[in-house]
Amino acid sequence: MAENTEHLALWGGRFTSGPSPELARLSKSTQFDWRLADDDIAGSRAHARALGRAGLLTPDELQRMEAALDELQRRVDSGAFAPIEDDEDEATALERGLIAIAGNELGGKLRAGRSRNDQIACLIRMWLRRHSRIIAGQLLALASALIEQSEKAGRTVMPGRTHMQHAQPVLLAHQLMAHVWPLLRDVQRLVDWDKRIDASPYGSGALAGNTLGLEPVAVAHELGFTNVTNNSIDGTASRDLVAEFAFVAAMTGVDISRLSEEIIIWNTQEFAFVKLDDAYSTGSSIMPQKKNPDIAELARGKSGRLIGDLTGLLATLKGLPTAYARDLQEDKEAVFDQVDTLEVLLPAFTGMVATMQFDHDRLEAEAPTGFALATDIAEWLVKNGVPFRHAHELSGACVKLAEGRGQELWDLTDEDFIDVFKDFLPADLAPQVREVLSTEGSVTARNGRGGTSPARVREQIASAKSLIETLRAFAKSTSDGSAYKSPESLR
Ligand code: ARG
């Protein structure tokens, strides 16, 4: 298969000279937009049929055009056809490839009624819709790995922290599940975003629509869209939906970074709450004893880059006139980078989460320390008729007493409790506060919906699992040809 490497430009009729080499280098985008080639060819196929229906291609021409596009796809797949130095963008390269197969006469007819402006706006939507499903599937796998760890954690209690200080004991499962919900919301964001981006700009032309009687609805359906954009200027010039995707990707990065930070701290010698599997840790080139949590650190680091992609894109969009401007070419690298980053990061991260091992004894031992049961004392006092304002102070007095002696709350004697509570409780009642000085009692008592009691945690695990099942329908759906319809439950 001889590749046609003859120069081809999509414009130039009104120019006396070709582009300067400096401009050509600046203008070129094939190095990153070639990955839209498959979507471009799918768009060309749908467009050819629209031209056929409008009588602008004879049935015979249409048949030859479709055969030529099939051949072009084969050459792209095999690598026999690829962009050359001179190709300005993927659209230019593919037109050169089509003409090499179909000839100038037929190949030159496909461009009628479309512009690279509506094409590129459509292609980025198609590409993102496909990858949103891959990322959704990966996020659900991560959420499932966290749920499995939560189930394995059973009733193990750990120190819950606010301001990084010991606060109240919580179930390890509760802490882990706190990372599941944001990830599931990230998937829900993609499902919701998909409803808005489910509209094809094809047929918008350069900005104003087309004069050739092309019907955009059929093209949209062929490309997996339910709708057509309502305004051809908006269709070609808006990138808010690309930015919205970029936000979800950045938010996903932030959510994973928060979990990373926790894992990194838990994995230190001082905490020693969790051990990472060898297959998901790295070593040091100089210190033989080191085992480092690089996956978590890379996730934390890459979240910065995911945020950067979003902010860069927003800055590009700000202040653009409202119809196509070349600035819009800058939309692609940002989201390509995000997708590449997440699609490599998420499987590694999930492997690390699925294989990490918690030290249950250590978590249990640390859970009640640092006066983490002080709130339980205050709430026990409230149940015994002491106004919370005073209860808070009395519990604080117990902490002060124990801290002064270098003790924990449960080391205080009956006499200590009798003395501290003397203005509010009879002497025979005061020592009974010991009943709540256990982590088991503390977590079991927090049994309101969403609380850390074992029963409530079992309940939230069940809810999360059923939400995952619902969301899987999105991850498994295709965005090309059979548009995903979100079930009522996700609306
Ligand atoms: N490569 C361009 C982009 O990605 C395609 C549209 C070019 N349109 C134009 N009128 N120069 O946005």
319/420 same-domain check: no
Q: What is the CATH number of the domain that holds 189?
A: 1.20.200.10
Give the length of the chain.
Answer: 491
Asked whether residue 251 carries a pLDDT value surpassing 80, the answer given is yes
Instruction: Look at residue 169 in the predicted model and tell me its pLDDT.
Output: 95
Q: What is the DSSP string of 249-280?
A: HHHHHHHHHHHHHHHHHHTSTTT--EE--GGG
pTM of the model: 0.93
Phi, psi of 419 (to 5 degrees): -70, -45
Asked whether residue 464 carries a pLDDT value surpassing 70, the answer given is yes
Annotated catalytic residue within 7, 27, 78, 284: 284
329/213 same-domain check: yes
310/396 same-domain check: no
Asked whether residue 272 carries a pLDDT value surpassing 80, the answer given is yes
In a domain, residue 450? The reply is no
Annotated catalytic residue within 17, 20, 163, 285: 163
Tell me if 9 CB under 6 Å of ligand 1.
Answer: no
In a domain, residue 482? The reply is no
Tell me if 252 CB under 6 Å of ligand 1.
Answer: no
Tell me if 39 CB under 6 Å of ligand 1.
Answer: no
Indicate the top mutation candidate among 118, 124, 326 to test ligand 1's pocket, ranked by most ligand atoms within 8 A of CB.
326
In a domain, residue 1? The reply is no
Instruction: Look at residue 5 in the predicted model and tell me its pLDDT.
Output: 62
Cα–Cα distance measured from residue 148 to residue 339, given in angstroms and rounded to the nearest whole number: 26
> What residues pair up with 274 in beta bridges, in sequence order?
358
287/415 same-domain check: no
**Cβ–Cβ under 8 Å, residues 387 and 395:** no
Q: What is the CATH number of the domain that holds 387?
A: 1.10.40.30
Helices (H) and strands (E) counted in the chain, each on its own, are: 18, 6
CA-nearest residue, atom 3 of ligand 1: 329
Q: What is the dihedral of CA 171, 173, 174, 178, to 10 degrees?
A: 150
pLDDT tens string 384-403: 999 999 999 999 999 999 99
381/362 same-domain check: no
In a domain, residue 453? The reply is no
Mean pLDDT of 69-77: 98
Q: Ligand 1 centroid to 403 CA: how many Å? A: 69
Tell me if 87 CB under 6 Å of ligand 1.
Answer: no
Residue 358's H or E segment, with its range, is strand 357-358
Cα–Cα distance measured from residue 150 to residue 176, given in angstroms and rounded to the nearest whole number: 6
Tell me if 120 CB under 6 Å of ligand 1.
Answer: yes
Cα–Cα distance measured from residue 403 to residue 390, given in angstroms and rounded to the nearest whole number: 20
Residue 127's H or E segment, with its range, is helix 116-153
Asked whether residue 473 carries a pLDDT value surpassing 70, the answer given is yes
Phi, psi of 171 (to 5 degrees): -70, 140
Share the mean pLDDT of the chain. 94
Query: Among 81, 112, 143, which residue terminates a domain?
Result: 112
Mean pLDDT of 476-481: 76
Mean pLDDT of 266-284: 94
Instruction: Look at residue 18 in the predicted model and tell me its pLDDT.
Output: 83
Closest CA to 394 of 410, 374, 408, 413: 374
87/198 same-domain check: no
Mean pLDDT of 393-417: 95
> Helix, strand, or coil here: 165?
strand
Instruction: Look at residue 11 in the predicted model and tell me its pLDDT.
Output: 80
Instruction: Look at residue 14 in the predicted model and tell me its pLDDT.
Output: 83
pLDDT tens string 119-149: 999 999 999 999 999 999 999 999 999 999 9
Asked whether residue 2 carries a pLDDT value surpassing 60, the answer given is no
318/396 same-domain check: no
Instruction: Look at residue 315 in the predicted model and tell me its pLDDT.
Output: 98
pLDDT confidence tier of residue 13, bands split at 50, 70 and 90: confident
In a domain, residue 9? The reply is no
**Which amino acid type is present at position 144?**
S
Print the domain residue range for 122. 117-366+460-476
Instruction: Look at residue 280 in the predicted model and tell me its pLDDT.
Output: 95
pLDDT confidence tier of residue 421, bands split at 50, 70 and 90: very high
Q: Ligand 1 centroid to 235 CA: how many Å? A: 14
Q: Is 78 a catalytic residue?
A: no
Indicate the top mutation candidate among 95, 116, 238 to test ligand 1's pocket, ranked by most ligand atoms within 8 A of CB.
116
CA-nearest residue, atom 12 of ligand 1: 329
**Cβ–Cβ under 8 Å, residues 52 and 109:** no
Tell me if 328 CB under 6 Å of ligand 1.
Answer: yes
397/425 same-domain check: yes
Instruction: Look at residue 489 in the predicted model and tell me its pLDDT.
Output: 46
CA-nearest residue, atom 11 of ligand 1: 326
In a domain, residue 347? The reply is yes
Ligand 1 atom nearest to 29, measured from its CA: 1
Instruction: Look at residue 32 in the predicted model and tell me its pLDDT.
Output: 97
In a domain, residue 484? The reply is no
Angle at 188 between CA 128 and CA 464, to 5 degrees: 135
Query: Among 94, 112, 130, which residue terminates a domain?
Result: 112
In a domain, residue 433? The reply is yes
Mean pLDDT of 330-336: 98
Query: Among 112, 142, 174, which residue terminates a domain?
Result: 112
Tell me if 326 CB under 6 Å of ligand 1.
Answer: yes
Instruction: Look at residue 4 in the predicted model and tell me its pLDDT.
Output: 59
CA 397 to chain centre: 47
**Cβ–Cβ under 8 Å, residues 122 and 200:** yes
Asked whether residue 484 carries a pLDDT value surpassing 70, the answer given is no
Residue 377's H or E segment, with its range, is helix 374-383
> Helix, strand, or coil here: 347?
helix
**How many other C-beta atoms lie within 10 A of the C-beta of residue 410?**
12
104/127 same-domain check: no
In the chain, the number of structural domains is 3
374/350 same-domain check: no
Cα–Cα distance measured from residue 374 to residue 442, given in angstroms and rounded to the nearest whole number: 10
**How many other C-beta atoms lie within 10 A of the C-beta of residue 466?**
11
Closest CA to 242 of 335, 140, 365, 165: 335
CA 136 to chain centre: 7
327/186 same-domain check: yes
Instruction: Look at residue 443 in the predicted model and tell me its pLDDT.
Output: 94
Greatest distance between any 2 Cα atoms in the chain: 103
137/286 same-domain check: yes
Asked whether residue 481 carries a pLDDT value surpassing 60, the answer given is no
Q: Is 360 a catalytic residue?
A: no
Q: What is the CATH number of the domain that holds 60?
A: 1.10.275.10
Cα–Cα distance measured from residue 74 to residue 273, given in angstroms and rounded to the nearest whole number: 53
pLDDT confidence tier of residue 483, bands split at 50, 70 and 90: very low
